[in-house]
A and B are shown apart, each in its own frame.
Chain A
Amino acid sequence: AQSVTQPDIHITVSEGASLELRCNYSYGATPYLFWYVQSPGQGLQLLLKYFSGDTLVQGIKGFEAEFKRSQSSFNLRKPSVHWSDAAEYFCAVGDINTGTASKLTFGTGTRLQVTL
Protein backbone atom coordinates (compact mmCIF):
# COMPACT_ATOMS: atom_id res chain seq x y z
CA ALA A 1 0.00 0.00 0.00
CA GLN A 2 1.16 3.48 -0.67
CA SER A 3 2.19 5.64 2.26
CA VAL A 4 3.45 9.13 3.02
CA THR A 5 5.89 10.14 5.73
CA GLN A 6 6.38 13.63 7.03
CA PRO A 7 9.23 13.24 9.52
CA ASP A 8 8.89 16.68 11.09
CA ILE A 9 5.88 17.10 13.35
CA HIS A 10 6.64 20.71 14.23
CA ILE A 11 8.99 23.30 12.71
CA THR A 12 9.70 26.83 13.86
CA VAL A 13 11.28 29.41 11.55
CA SER A 14 11.84 33.14 11.75
CA GLU A 15 9.94 35.40 9.42
CA GLY A 16 12.02 36.01 6.30
CA ALA A 17 13.96 32.77 6.67
CA SER A 18 13.81 29.97 4.13
CA LEU A 19 11.68 26.88 4.69
CA GLU A 20 11.85 23.27 3.65
CA LEU A 21 9.23 20.72 4.70
CA ARG A 22 10.08 17.09 4.06
CA CYS A 23 7.86 14.47 2.51
CA ASN A 24 8.74 10.89 1.59
CA TYR A 25 6.40 8.51 -0.14
CA SER A 26 6.30 4.81 -0.65
CA TYR A 27 5.17 3.63 -4.05
CA GLY A 28 6.65 1.71 -6.96
CA ALA A 29 5.70 3.85 -9.93
CA THR A 30 5.38 7.57 -10.50
CA PRO A 31 2.95 8.85 -7.92
CA TYR A 32 0.51 11.71 -7.99
CA LEU A 33 1.79 14.06 -5.27
CA PHE A 34 0.17 17.01 -3.55
CA TRP A 35 0.85 19.56 -0.86
CA TYR A 36 -2.06 21.04 1.05
CA VAL A 37 -2.14 23.66 3.80
CA GLN A 38 -4.64 23.88 6.63
CA SER A 39 -5.16 26.90 8.83
CA PRO A 40 -6.77 26.38 12.25
CA GLY A 41 -10.44 25.45 11.95
CA GLN A 42 -10.30 25.46 8.18
CA GLY A 43 -10.37 22.95 5.37
CA LEU A 44 -7.42 22.08 3.15
CA GLN A 45 -6.10 24.41 0.49
CA LEU A 46 -4.10 23.03 -2.41
CA LEU A 47 -0.62 24.53 -2.67
CA LEU A 48 0.73 22.54 -5.59
CA LYS A 49 0.68 19.18 -7.30
CA TYR A 50 2.91 16.89 -9.33
CA PHE A 51 1.74 14.41 -11.91
CA SER A 52 4.60 14.15 -14.41
CA GLY A 53 7.10 16.22 -16.37
CA ASP A 54 9.20 18.93 -14.83
CA THR A 55 10.26 17.78 -11.38
CA LEU A 56 10.22 21.29 -9.95
CA VAL A 57 6.66 22.53 -9.56
CA GLN A 58 5.52 25.99 -8.61
CA GLY A 59 2.51 26.61 -6.44
CA ILE A 60 0.57 29.40 -4.87
CA LYS A 61 1.85 31.78 -2.19
CA GLY A 62 5.44 31.46 -3.41
CA PHE A 63 5.80 27.77 -2.61
CA GLU A 64 7.59 25.23 -4.77
CA ALA A 65 8.29 21.52 -4.48
CA GLU A 66 10.78 19.21 -6.09
CA PHE A 67 10.06 15.59 -6.98
CA LYS A 68 13.11 13.36 -6.55
CA ARG A 69 12.41 9.84 -7.66
CA SER A 70 15.77 8.51 -6.43
CA GLN A 71 14.99 9.68 -2.91
CA SER A 72 11.21 9.08 -3.03
CA SER A 73 10.80 12.63 -1.85
CA PHE A 74 8.63 15.62 -2.61
CA ASN A 75 9.89 18.39 -0.35
CA LEU A 76 8.12 21.72 -0.10
CA ARG A 77 10.18 24.92 -0.10
CA LYS A 78 9.73 28.64 0.25
CA PRO A 79 12.62 31.14 0.03
CA SER A 80 11.21 33.63 2.54
CA VAL A 81 8.51 32.77 5.05
CA HIS A 82 5.80 35.22 6.07
CA TRP A 83 4.01 35.20 9.41
CA SER A 84 0.79 34.29 7.58
CA ASP A 85 2.37 30.99 6.49
CA ALA A 86 1.94 29.61 9.99
CA ALA A 87 -0.35 26.61 9.53
CA GLU A 88 -0.28 22.84 9.17
CA TYR A 89 1.06 21.39 5.95
CA PHE A 90 0.09 18.02 4.55
CA CYS A 91 1.75 15.99 1.85
CA ALA A 92 -0.51 13.52 0.03
CA VAL A 93 -0.29 10.86 -2.66
CA GLY A 94 -3.06 9.87 -5.05
CA ASP A 95 -4.27 6.31 -5.41
CA ILE A 96 -2.43 4.84 -8.32
CA ASN A 97 -4.43 1.62 -8.25
CA THR A 98 -7.66 3.36 -9.16
CA GLY A 99 -5.95 5.66 -11.61
CA THR A 100 -7.48 8.71 -9.99
CA ALA A 101 -6.35 11.31 -7.52
CA SER A 102 -9.68 11.19 -5.71
CA LYS A 103 -8.52 8.82 -2.98
CA LEU A 104 -5.67 10.53 -1.21
CA THR A 105 -3.32 9.11 1.39
CA PHE A 106 -2.05 11.86 3.65
CA GLY A 107 1.03 12.24 5.77
CA THR A 108 0.65 13.13 9.42
CA GLY A 109 1.30 16.80 8.76
CA THR A 110 3.92 19.34 9.79
CA ARG A 111 2.90 22.25 11.95
CA LEU A 112 4.78 25.42 11.00
CA GLN A 113 5.29 28.16 13.54
CA VAL A 114 6.70 31.49 12.40
CA THR A 115 8.42 33.78 14.85
CA LEU A 116 8.64 37.51 14.27
Chain B
Amino acid sequence: KAGVTQTPRYLIKTRGQQVTLSCSPISGHRSVSWYQQTPGQGLQFLFEYFSETQRNKGNFPGRFSGRQFSNSRSEMNVSTLELGDSALYLCASSWGDRATTDTQYFGPGTRLTVL
Protein backbone atom coordinates (compact mmCIF):
# COMPACT_ATOMS: atom_id res chain seq x y z
CA LYS B 1 0.00 0.00 0.00
CA ALA B 2 1.50 3.31 -1.06
CA GLY B 3 2.07 5.89 1.61
CA VAL B 4 1.32 9.59 1.62
CA THR B 5 3.06 11.38 -1.21
CA GLN B 6 3.87 15.06 -1.43
CA THR B 7 5.04 17.09 -4.39
CA PRO B 8 7.29 18.83 -4.94
CA ARG B 9 9.80 17.77 -2.32
CA TYR B 10 11.77 21.02 -2.54
CA LEU B 11 10.76 24.48 -3.61
CA ILE B 12 12.47 27.86 -3.71
CA LYS B 13 10.39 31.02 -4.06
CA THR B 14 10.89 34.72 -3.52
CA ARG B 15 8.99 37.04 -1.25
CA GLY B 16 5.64 38.09 -2.57
CA GLN B 17 5.14 35.06 -4.77
CA GLN B 18 2.57 32.38 -4.17
CA VAL B 19 3.05 28.64 -3.98
CA THR B 20 0.92 25.51 -4.25
CA LEU B 21 1.84 22.24 -2.58
CA SER B 22 0.21 18.91 -3.32
CA CYS B 23 -0.58 15.89 -1.19
CA SER B 24 -1.93 12.48 -2.19
CA PRO B 25 -3.26 10.50 0.77
CA ILE B 26 -3.14 6.79 1.40
CA SER B 27 -5.74 5.02 -0.70
CA GLY B 28 -9.10 5.06 1.08
CA HIS B 29 -8.20 7.85 3.48
CA ARG B 30 -10.60 10.78 3.31
CA SER B 31 -8.96 13.16 5.78
CA VAL B 32 -5.91 15.22 4.93
CA SER B 33 -4.23 17.50 7.45
CA TRP B 34 -1.43 19.97 6.89
CA TYR B 35 1.29 20.99 9.33
CA GLN B 36 4.08 23.53 9.23
CA GLN B 37 7.40 22.65 10.86
CA THR B 38 9.96 25.34 11.65
CA PRO B 39 12.93 25.37 14.04
CA GLY B 40 11.40 28.22 16.03
CA GLN B 41 7.74 27.23 16.26
CA GLY B 42 8.00 23.47 15.89
CA LEU B 43 5.13 21.51 14.40
CA GLN B 44 1.95 23.51 14.02
CA PHE B 45 -1.41 22.43 12.66
CA LEU B 46 -2.61 24.38 9.64
CA PHE B 47 -5.92 22.81 8.65
CA GLU B 48 -7.72 19.57 7.94
CA TYR B 49 -9.92 18.63 5.00
CA PHE B 50 -12.44 15.85 5.02
CA SER B 51 -14.71 15.00 2.09
CA GLU B 52 -13.74 18.22 0.30
CA THR B 53 -14.65 20.41 3.28
CA GLN B 54 -12.40 22.15 5.75
CA ARG B 55 -13.19 20.53 9.06
CA ASN B 56 -10.54 21.99 11.36
CA LYS B 57 -8.38 25.06 11.20
CA GLY B 58 -5.29 26.21 13.07
CA ASN B 59 -4.18 29.74 13.87
CA PHE B 60 -2.61 30.83 10.62
CA PRO B 61 -3.35 33.93 8.56
CA GLY B 62 -5.67 33.85 5.58
CA ARG B 63 -2.68 33.71 3.23
CA PHE B 64 -2.66 30.01 3.96
CA SER B 65 -5.47 28.15 2.28
CA GLY B 66 -6.24 24.70 1.04
CA ARG B 67 -8.67 22.54 -0.78
CA GLN B 68 -9.47 18.91 -1.30
CA PHE B 69 -10.63 17.16 -4.42
CA SER B 70 -13.15 14.39 -4.82
CA ASN B 71 -10.34 11.80 -4.93
CA SER B 72 -9.17 13.11 -1.52
CA ARG B 73 -6.01 14.63 -2.92
CA SER B 74 -5.32 17.98 -1.33
CA GLU B 75 -3.47 21.15 -2.16
CA MET B 76 -2.39 23.97 0.05
CA ASN B 77 -1.65 27.43 -1.19
CA VAL B 78 0.35 30.21 0.38
CA SER B 79 -0.04 33.64 -1.16
CA THR B 80 2.22 36.67 -0.78
CA LEU B 81 5.08 34.63 0.63
CA GLU B 82 7.09 35.98 3.53
CA LEU B 83 10.55 34.95 4.68
CA GLY B 84 8.99 33.38 7.77
CA ASP B 85 7.03 30.96 5.61
CA SER B 86 10.21 29.02 4.98
CA ALA B 87 9.48 25.66 6.53
CA LEU B 88 8.89 21.97 6.03
CA TYR B 89 5.23 21.47 5.17
CA LEU B 90 3.92 18.09 6.17
CA CYS B 91 0.77 16.43 5.01
CA ALA B 92 -0.92 13.62 6.92
CA SER B 93 -3.82 11.40 5.98
CA SER B 94 -6.25 9.27 7.97
CA TRP B 95 -9.61 7.60 7.55
CA GLY B 96 -11.14 10.71 9.05
CA ASP B 97 -13.99 9.15 10.92
CA ARG B 98 -14.47 10.25 14.48
CA ALA B 99 -13.53 6.89 15.93
CA THR B 100 -10.90 7.31 18.56
CA THR B 101 -8.65 4.81 16.88
CA ASP B 102 -8.09 6.99 13.82
CA THR B 103 -4.41 7.64 13.23
CA GLN B 104 -2.53 10.09 11.03
CA TYR B 105 0.16 8.93 8.64
CA PHE B 106 2.62 11.53 7.42
CA GLY B 107 4.22 12.18 4.08
CA PRO B 108 7.91 13.12 3.61
CA GLY B 109 7.12 16.82 3.43
CA THR B 110 7.81 19.69 1.07
CA ARG B 111 10.75 21.91 1.98
CA LEU B 112 9.86 25.50 1.07
CA THR B 113 12.55 28.15 1.06
CA VAL B 114 11.55 31.78 0.63
CA LEU B 115 14.30 34.16 -0.46
A residues lining the B interface (CB < 8 Å): 32, 34, 36, 41-46, 49, 51-52, 90, 92, 95, 98-109
Contacts and interface: CB of A to CB of B under 8 A. Distances in A.
Nearest to A42: B108
Contacts of A41: 111
A46 B104 CA distance: 8
Contacts of A92: 43
Contacts of A51: 100-101
Nearest to A30: B100
Contacts of A45: 106
9 contacts: A92-B43, A95-B56, A98-B98, A100-B96, A101-B102, A102-B94, A104-B43, A108-B42, A109-B43
Contacts of A103: 33, 45, 48, 56, 58
A104 B103 CA distance: 10
Interface string B30-60: 0101010000001111001010000110100
A92 B101 CA distance: 15
Interface residues of B, number: 30
B82 to A, nearest CB: 23
B68 to A, nearest CB: 13
Contact of B90 (A43, A107, A108): A43
A109 B104 contact: no
Interface string B66-102: 0000000000000000000000001010101110111
Given A43-B109, A103-B45, A52 B100 contact: yes
Contacts of B100: 32, 51-52, 99, 101
Nearest to B58: A103
Given A34-B103, A43-B109, A101-B94, 17 more contacts: A41-B111, A44-B90, A46-B104, A90-B43, A95-B56, A100-B97, A100-B98, A101-B102, A101-B104, A102-B55, A102-B56, A102-B96, A103-B45, A104-B43, A104-B45, A109-B42, A109-B43
